[in-house]
Structure 1
Amino acid sequence: MSKEDMVKEAVEEAKAKAAKEAEEALKNAEDAKEQTEDADEAKETLEESAEEAEEETTEDAAEEVEAAEDVKSGKEKKLFGRKNKKDKKDEKIEELTDRLTRQMAEFDNFRKRTEKEKSQMYEVGAKDIIEKILPVVDNFERGLAAVPEEDQSNPFAEGMEKIYKQLMTTLEEIGVKPIEAVGNEFNPDFHNAVMHIEDEAFGENIVAEEFQKGYTYRDSVVRHSMVKVAN
């Protein structure tokens, strides 16, 4: 190889090495630029996140203060300004509690209605029995009234008198009372007028005589008094 060729080859090698080094330097510069841009973007992202976090913290703190003030003043407000979403279990518990409350109210109404109906049925049955007993009372009174005065000390008559008084006491204890009639003003709620007379000895619309005694049971009329009304 001639000297000229050797020089030419050395120049080519130097050019190739320089071109390679320049290419690597350019690539490194581009990589550094990309890294710098990535770092800038990351920095901007971090700054934005920090600003948002600061704003949210400030808003949350303000909402907490507002909620605390509302609670202090007696107002109902959601803490931190957020709506408390009810859990499905809580909603189910509230639904079952409401259903149970309504069923208990319905049962209480049913119980009261049943007790009232039982009481009414008892009163109807009691009045029916009393109506059957009253003719016996009437017969006792007629029989005792027919006993001559000289025979009233007779042991039999005294025994009947005691039985009559015991019967009347028992009826009074269960709420049966005779209706007052003679001398009182006629009242169609208690008296049944079967005769009218004109008599100056009585006032207007006054019961002059009682033909059959009337009775009430717990303030309810079992039998009206059959009466004669004056004027």
Structure 2
Amino acid sequence: MLEEEKLNQEETNEELHEEVQEVKTEEILEQMEETGESDTDNIEESDEEGTQKKEKSKFFKKDKKEKKDPKDEKIEELNDRLIRTMAEFDNFRKRSEKEKSQMFELGAKDIIERILPVIDNFERGLDTISEEEREGAFAQGIEKIYKQLTTTLEEVGVKAIEAVGNEFDPNLHNAVMHADDEEQGENIITDEFQKGYMYKDTVVRHSMVKVVN
């Protein structure tokens, strides 16, 4: 009996030992599998890091290659200076032309102001000539000279300011006399004592006039 129990006990111990061994073996296999996965992950991560490093290296190399040559930078600088100089010269040319035009207009205005009294004297002299005398050669010669002078002035841009019958305009007329007239409208010019003139768009001399109402 004792021997049988002993044998049974030994068989039971062997079975337990085998079961323990199987459990340990399974645990080792599971750990190996887990370790293998983590190694794979580590390998993938290291590959990604390597790729990023390569890309960064390529970027910096490309950046170095794209750096401009000193000669190209000098050419661009000179080209920019040339463009600026040309723009400044063009502005200077336009400004000079404008100043010349203004000087010419001022000079022309000064000459016209000197000629206007001559025209005034021609007109006064012609007004004193009677109808009979107008048929004479002398009177006709004076009138032709007067017309030639006024035509020449008109061709260069000088024109008389209209006054009689028009409304008074302080920009064009100089009122030296006022009167009341019920038959006339408000601020109407009835008489002109001295003719006014304009050179292009500039008033050379205001008209001296009489205004009613």
Q: What is the TM-score with the length of structure 2 in the denominator?
A: 0.70
Question: Aligned equivalents of 2:83 and 2:167: distance in 1?
Answer: 53
Q: CA RMSD in A?
A: 2.3
Does residue 204 of structure 1 match 2:148? Answer: no
Question: Aligned equivalents of 2:174 and 2:203: distance in 1?
Answer: 12
Question: Aligned equivalents of 1:118 and 1:83: distance in 2?
Answer: 54
Does residue 147 of structure 1 match 2:129? Answer: yes
Does residue 164 of structure 1 match 2:146? Answer: yes
Where in structure 2 are there 5+ consecutive unaligned residues?
Answer: 1-46
Q: Which amino acid aligns with 1:90?
A: D
**Residues 81 and 100 of structure 1: CA distance in aligned 2, closer, same or farther (over 3 Å):** closer
Q: Which runs of 4+ in 1 moved over 3 A?
A: 80-83
Q: Which amino acid aligns with 2:189?
A: V
Structure number with greater CO (CA < 8 Å, separation at least 6) is 2
Does residue 128 of structure 1 match 2:110? Answer: yes
Give the corresponding residue for 2:162: 180
SS in 2 for 1:149: coil
Question: Aligned equivalents of 2:177 and 2:131: distance in 1?
Answer: 30
SS in 1 for 2:93: helix
Q: How does 1:32-47 map to 2 (within 5 A)?
A: none
SS in 2 for 1:193: strand
Question: Aligned equivalents of 1:223 and 1:82: distance in 2?
Answer: 74
Deviation at residue 103 of structure 1 after TM alignment: 1.0
Return the match for 2:68 from 86, 92, 95.
Answer: 86
Q: What is the TM-score with the length of structure 1 in the denominator?
A: 0.65
Question: Aligned equivalents of 1:195 and 1:100: distance in 2?
Answer: 64
Give the corresponding residue for 1:225: 207
Question: Aligned equivalents of 1:83 and 1:179: distance in 2?
Answer: 75
Q: Which amino acid aligns with 1:223?
A: R
Give the corresponding residue for 1:25: none
Name whichever of 102-111 and 168-177 sits farther off.
102-111
Return the match for 2:88 from 103, 106, 123.
Answer: 106
Does residue 138 of structure 1 match 2:95? Answer: no
SS in 2 for 1:152: helix
Question: Aligned equivalents of 1:179 and 1:162: distance in 2?
Answer: 22
Give the paired residue count.
161
Question: Aligned equivalents of 2:104 and 2:63: distance in 1?
Answer: 63
Deviation at residue 141 of structure 1 after TM alignment: 0.5
Q: Which amino acid aligns with 1:186?
A: F
